[in-house]
Every structure is written in C-alpha cells, then in structure tokens.
Amino acid sequence: MSEAIRQESPLVERITPERKAASPADAGVTLRERPFLGYINVRGNPEDGNFLEAVKGVAAVDLPLEANTVDEGDRCTAIWLGPNEWYLRTEAGAELDTIARLEESLAGQVFAVNDVTSNFTTLVLGGPRARDVLEKGCALDLHPRVFGERTQCAQTLLSHAGIVIRPAGDGASFELVVRRSFADYVFVWLEDAAAEFGMAVTD
C-alpha cells in the first residue's frame, strides 16, 4: 500500500514550532506564512465581455483591468499580472475545483487556465518596522500614501528574488507572493534585514 503524499511548505525547516516559541515578544517585525493557497494562472482577452463574465461567474470577482490592481472576494482573489494575464488565488485545496468550473464556463472561448499552486508560497510581513525592512531590498515606494490599499499590487524584486507584493490593508503589513524556489532565500534575507529590529515568526 503506497504512502499518502504529504504536502510541505518550502519553509518547513525554517518556520518551526521551536522558532515560533523563541521569537522575541518585542520584535519590530512579524512574519507568518500562508502556505498551500491555490494559485491559478488565467489568460484571456480583456476586451471580451464573455470571457470576463465567465470568469466572474466562477470566481465571484472581477478580473482587474487596471495595471497593478487586485479584486478580492469571498471565494477568490484576482491579481493583475499583465494586460491579458492574472492570478486567481483560492483557499487551500479549492484550486482544482475552481479550474474545472472555469474550463467548463469558458468552453469554446480562447483562454488558458493553469494550476501553478505548487510554484508559490505566501508570506505576510507586519509590525512597525516591516516597511523599513522591505525598503532595504525593494526599490518601490512603499509608503502608505503611495502603496497602502489592498486593491494595489506590484511585481518587483526583493533583493534578487522576484515577488508579487500587496499591502495587507492596515498600512503597516505586506503580503509577498514568493516562488517556491526563492522561498528559503527570501526568508533568510528578511531575517537578516530585520536583525536590528528583531523578527518574530508567528501563526
């Protein structure tokens, strides 16, 4: 009898119960992972109303047409990547059902829908010094007056790692979508960059 496949975060050896327990209570930066969220790459014609409505009928969100914006709903979050490309993010385990429903709804149209869940993990960096840490390796202006709404997002570099970043909505926290192959690098970089403030790893 074959063993069940165990799903593991790329940071399973970094974000441990021991590490969480040892985190400083007065840390200026907090880091938590949201592992296993579903990510679906969607491509289609943004000028085709039938395409947009078909996706909305499944995902219950509008595919954002303005560059660097996000639409968030109860079922999915749609993240703009390019003029004809988006990520649809689902809760963990919902991606395959969502893909099946998208393919059924979009039948006969020109589109591409691909499961890229295993390519990514999601980190949330918070605390009063979170922006100070990110600004050490990110060229974007992350001040809340410029980049502070949950409806915003950007593709950028954090040091040498490509990420998608969006404000978490409270003006002090940021969500980072990180490729699995860069997850360990990003964790170590953040840990080093936050050393002067202290970094707490949390649930």
Q: Domain spanning 17-35+119-201: which CATH class is it, in words?
A: alpha beta
Per-residue pLDDT of the chain (203 residues; tens, 9 = 90+): 456 677 899 999 999 999 999 999 999 999 999 999 999 999 999 999 999 999 999 999 999 999 999 999 999 999 999 999 999 999 999 999 999 999 999 999 999 999 999 999 999 999 999 999 999 999 999 999 999 999 999 999 999 999 999 998 777 899 999 999 999 999 999 999 999 999 999 98
**What residue segments make up the domains of the chain, in order of their start?**
17-35+119-201, 38-117
User: Rounded to an integer, what distance in angstroms lies between the CA atom of residue 24 and that of residue 76?
Assistant: 34
User: Rounded to an integer, what distance in angstroms lies between the CA atom of residue 73 and that of residue 31?
Assistant: 24
CATH 3.40.50.880 at 38-117, yes or no: no
Q: Which of 112, 104, 62, 109 has the alpha carbon at shortest distance from 85?
A: 112
Q: Are strands 29-34 and 199-201 parallel, antiparallel or unpaired?
A: parallel
User: Rounded to an integer, what distance in angstroms lies between the CA atom of residue 26 and that of residue 199?
Assistant: 9
Residue 96: strand, helix, or coil: helix
